[in-house]
């Protein structure tokens, strides 16, 4: 199977989002974990943005050995020089140069013409290639760029020496079919450069970042740029864990592989949450608290009989300690019996029926039934059943 490179930009694009800023030691901690996770590229930062970010990029570059370390630069020599200083200590450095190519950005943000943009791309990429063997070019806002001009831009970058071509959906605007078509057309246009790796970088403004990334892979992209927990500008980036698991679960469909150690996903997600003090939503795919939690009785019964009935991947495969059968008003008797047995109580059918009635009443009042609630319920049921014969005997004695 062909290899899809996982380019993690948690330390750069993810860190740029409000509330997710990290200091150098935190970046190092997460970078070490990303290396163990098996990502191919760690984008460590945007060195021109501040002396602190430059220092952090250098620290990550000096320590990480098993994967590439990238630094971002605008298509300006001063940016490129700063990025080169950042990745100087790296065992496997990558220089990542970007320039917006959509008419909207050219006119209103950069205030340059298309011809000026092409000249900047050529000059910056050629300069970068003279100092680094691995140069990626990103056509910012590619998904809203006129296709003919996009092809001119990436051809200019390829001619100048770039070996990775990134076509970002910078504002989360495109759809999977459009994005896939763009990659197919771009690959065809650059057929004269067969060694170029095409890369996807998607944002989640319409909730399509992962779907668009997968569409790009299906269309021949062999690098995806993503973040842990999907953090990033605005609504975030494509989620690394969702892409990696999708490619594993649907391996026969996509016919590609990654180097991601799936069993380290959950720990990596939790590490990021601990560093930033921002937890993922409970319904977040793969790593959310409810991703492997089941409350509906029908689902719980299926899970107890065969987990694959309602889980497309086992929780331990992605490092989640265990699934949870949540006891609430929708739960069934089988889940209640199973949980009581886990707590050390084997129940008769009669006891279970009584426990179930009390548990349902408790769930209506408190939404969920905790283990403490269950212990109270089983003790109450058994005390009542033990005391009942004594009351009957006492009542018989009074009658006599």
**Confidence at residue 396, expressed as pLDDT on a 0 to 100 scale:** 56
**Confidence at residue 295, expressed as pLDDT on a 0 to 100 scale:** 86
Contact criterion met (CB below 8 Å) for 291 and 321: no
Cα–Cα distance for residue pair 168/192, rounded to 1 Å: 22
**Confidence at residue 366, expressed as pLDDT on a 0 to 100 scale:** 84
The torsion region of residue 247 among left (phi > 0), alpha (psi -120 to 50) and beta comes to alpha
Q: Which residue has the tokens 């970058």?
A: 157
Contact criterion met (CB below 8 Å) for 269 and 325: no
**Confidence at residue 302, expressed as pLDDT on a 0 to 100 scale:** 94
**Confidence at residue 365, expressed as pLDDT on a 0 to 100 scale:** 87
SS3 assignment, position 136: strand
The predicted model scores a pTM of 0.89
Q: How many residues does the chain have?
A: 400
DSSP count for the chain of H helices, then E strands: 15, 12
**Confidence at residue 344, expressed as pLDDT on a 0 to 100 scale:** 93
In the chain the domains, ranked by start, together with CATH numbers, are: 2-276 (3.20.20.70), 293-387 (no CATH)
**Confidence at residue 395, expressed as pLDDT on a 0 to 100 scale:** 55
What does each of the 400 residues of the chain score in pLDDT, given as a tens digit?
A: 999 999 999 999 999 888 899 999 999 999 999 999 999 999 999 999 999 999 999 999 999 999 999 999 999 999 999 999 999 999 999 999 999 999 999 999 999 999 999 999 999 999 999 999 999 999 999 999 999 999 999 999 999 999 999 999 999 999 999 999 999 999 999 999 999 999 999 999 999 999 999 999 999 999 999 999 999 999 999 999 999 999 999 999 999 999 999 999 999 999 999 999 999 999 999 999 999 999 888 998 999 999 999 999 999 999 998 888 888 888 889 989 998 998 999 999 999 999 999 998 998 888 788 889 999 999 999 998 887 665 565 555 555 5
SS3 assignment, position 9: coil
SS3 assignment, position 164: strand
**Confidence at residue 17, expressed as pLDDT on a 0 to 100 scale:** 87
């Amino acid at each position: 199977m062909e290899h899809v490179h996982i380019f993690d930009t948690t330390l750069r694009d993810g860190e740029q989002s409000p509330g997710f800023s990290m200091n150098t030691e935190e970046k190092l901690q997460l970078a070490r974990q990303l290396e163990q996770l098996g990502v191919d590229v760690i984008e460590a930062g945007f060195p021109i943005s501040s002396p602190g970010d430059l220092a952090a990029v250098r620290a990550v570059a000096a320590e990480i050995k098993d994967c590439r370390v990238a630094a971002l630069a605008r298509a300006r020599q001063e940016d490129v020089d700063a990025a080169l200083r950042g990745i100087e200590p790296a065992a496997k450095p990558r220089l990542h140069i970007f320039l917006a190519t959509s008419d909207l950005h050219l006119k209103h943000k950069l205030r340059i013409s298309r011809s000026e943009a092409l000249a900047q791309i050529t000059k910056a990429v050629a300069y970068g290639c003279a100092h680094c063997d691995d140069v990626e070019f990103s056509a910012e806002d590619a998904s809203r760029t006129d296709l003919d001009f996009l092809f001119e831009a990436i051809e200019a970058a390829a001619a100048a020496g770039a070996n990775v071509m990134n076509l970002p959906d910078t504002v989360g605007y495109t759809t999977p079919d459009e994005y896939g078509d763009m990659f197919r057309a771009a690959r065809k246009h650059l057929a004269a450069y067969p060694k170029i790796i095409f890369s996807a970088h998607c944002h989640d403004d319409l909730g399509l970042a992962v779907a668009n990334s997968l569409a790009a892979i299906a269309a021949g992209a062999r690098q995806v740029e993503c973040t842990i927990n999907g953090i990033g500008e605005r609504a975030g980036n494509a989620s690394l864990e969702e892409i990696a698991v999708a490619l594993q679960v649907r391996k026969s469909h996509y016919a590609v592989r990654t180097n991601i150690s799936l069993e380290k996903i959950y720990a990596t997600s939790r590490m990021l949450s601990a560093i930033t003090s921002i937890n993922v939503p409970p319904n977040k795919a793969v790593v959310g608290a409810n991703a492997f939690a089941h409350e509906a009785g029908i689902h719980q019964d299926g899970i107890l009989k065969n987990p694959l009935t309602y889980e497309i991947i086992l929780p331990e495969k992605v490092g989640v300690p265990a699934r949870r059968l949540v006891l609430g008003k929708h739960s069934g008797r089988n889940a209640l019996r199973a949980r009581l047995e886990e707590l050390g109580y084997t129940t008769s059918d009669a006891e279970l029926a009584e426990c179930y009635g009390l548990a349902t009443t408790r769930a209506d009042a408190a939404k969920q039934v905790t283990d403490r609630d269950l212990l109270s319920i089983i003790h109450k049921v058994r005390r009542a059943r033990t005391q009942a014969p004594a009351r009957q005997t006492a009542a018989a004695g009074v009658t006599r």
